[in-house]
Every structure is written in C-alpha cells, then in structure tokens.
Amino acid sequence: MTTRRAQIAYQGEPGAYSEAAALRFEPEAETRPLRSFEEVFAAVSDGHATHGILPMENSIGGSIHRNYDLLLEHDLPIVGEVELRVEHCLLAHPGSTLADLRTIHSHPQALAQCERFLRGLDGVEIVAIYDTAGGARLIREQALRDVGAIASRRAAEVFGLEVLLENLEDPGLNITRFFVIGRAPAPPGEADKTTVVFALPSVPGALFKALSVFALRDINLTKLESRPVRGRPWEYLFYADLAVARQDLTCAQALVHLAEFARWTKTLGTYRAWREPASEVSAPTAPVPVEEANG
C-alpha cells in the first residue's frame, strides 16, 4: 500500500513565503498555489489538497485577521504550525537599477515589515497588491522596468528578476508563524499545543474569569487574539493558543470550567508546537546592495 504524497495548498504564486513554509513543514510535499485564502480552505475541504498552510501572524506586522475568521468558518482542524524567518529583497527587471524605480509593490504585510526602508525612498509610489511573488510575476510578464517588488530571493529565481537589495525588513527578527490545516486531526501522541476560540458574555470580569481557568492550572497562554462578533457590535471572540495538548487532563478540566460561563467554546486543533533549530536564529543585517553583500 502506497502513502499519498502530501499536497499543500497555499495562497500566492510560486516563490511566495507560504510556499517556503509549506516545504519546511513537509519537504517532499507537492505545493499548490491559489489566489485566495478562501480557496485554500476549499481545496482541503474538497480533497484537492491534503493540507493547507495559512500565515497567522508576523513578529513585526502583527496578525492576519482574515485567517482567524476563516478558521472559525470552516471545520478543518489545525494539525501543525511552522515558523519561517522572512528576509525581504527588492526585485526588479534585469538591467533596472534602484534609481530607475518609480513604483514598488508587495503584499500589505510585507510593506508594513519594510516600513523603515520605504520611508527613506523619495519619489517612489508604494502600492499594495495581493501577493509578494505575484508582484514579481507582474514585473516579468509586463516587462516593467520602472517597477520593483518586495519579495523573496526564490521569487527572483522563479521569475528571472534581479535582486537589487536584500534584508529590507525593519530591525528585529522578522518571523511569520503559519498554521497547517487538514481534514483529520493530528495524531494525539504528537500534540503539545492547542488552539481554542470562545465567546464571552458582556459582563464585568468575564475575560478575567476566562483566563483564570488556565492560570489556576498553570497552563501557559502563548497567544490571545480578539475578533469582533459579526452582528453584535462591541462584542468579541477570543482565540487562545495553549501550551498543552487537548488530551491533557488539565486542559480538559480548564475547557470544561470555561464552558460553565462562556457563551460557547470550540477547539480549533491540537498539534505539535514548532521547534526552531537554534542554528537558524541569527541577527538580521541592514539593507545592502547585493554586490556588496556578495563581496
């Protein structure tokens, strides 16, 4: 009996950071680029992909709120997470220089992560588009010699562009965290992290009580994200990442306790937390021309 090769759907073009994260999760996977996050969920639901990968938050730019909403709208469990060091490059048509550029485009998150660099440019229009690698593809297909794209070095290789500058991201480690979704839960023996979402009544002390069910059992919350409840202005849902498996007795007790006063609760997935190899964490450097960086 042969095992089906993993097929991971992601939003973006080949060379997108989501593609790199997918291959970090499963190096032998077949990757499937799609136009939108909604299409990623649909591909997994319909069986056209075994998994989907979704950027959830960036250490500089913050959370990708749409994907939190989509996790609640679909019954596809989180089965893993990936952290990816993001290193932004300025790409251009072969032969173009920085002085030739009149427009630079990229995904809004990438632009936010390179704010310091972009503020230093004069006479250059900054344009937000749907995907980092998509900007690189546009330059190549339309032979745009006065347009640059902020994207990955791999995007430059895929679309035959030149890297004018690298390390454009703002100071500090620029890391994006991704969730991997599937149709079936992750094997319970591997899990040591759980993501839940819950809604609370709008009464004094509701959030304090909710968080206390975890604090009383020494369960660490590694992430807490609020999102508005649609149709109920100024009421909120709360997404929480717990550093414990759902099957752990303390986690089960905490969620039962939470359900006593929450409007509702839902477990979005229990999975193995990402382990970052120590050798891959290094301090970022300032933006430099590629020729200088290569010596």
Please, where are the H alpha helices in 160-218?
Answer: 206-215
238's CB contacts (< 8 A; 6+ apart) are 197, 198, 199, 200, 207, 210, 224, 225, 226, 227
Determine whether 103 is an active site residue. no
In the chain, what is the greatest distance between 2 CA atoms, to the nearest angstrom?
65
Both tokens assigned to 206: 């509701």
Q: Which of 246, 199, 263 is nearest to 226 (CA)?
A: 199
Distance CA 114, CA 111 (A): 5
Both tokens assigned to 223: 């992430």
Both tokens assigned to 269: 């997935």
Both tokens assigned to 103: 């427009």
End-to-end CA distance of the chain: 52
Surface-to-core class of residue 189, CB atoms within 10 Å of its CB (0-12 exposed, 13-18 middle, 19+ buried): exposed
Annotated active-site residue in 31, 50, 132, 176: 176
How many helices (H) and strands (E) are present in the chain, helices listed first?
Answer: 10, 16
Determine whether 270 is an active site residue. no
The answer to whether the beta carbons of residues 244 and 193 sit under 8 Å apart is: yes
Annotated active-site residue in 178, 198, 214, 238: 178
Residues with catalytic roles: 176, 178
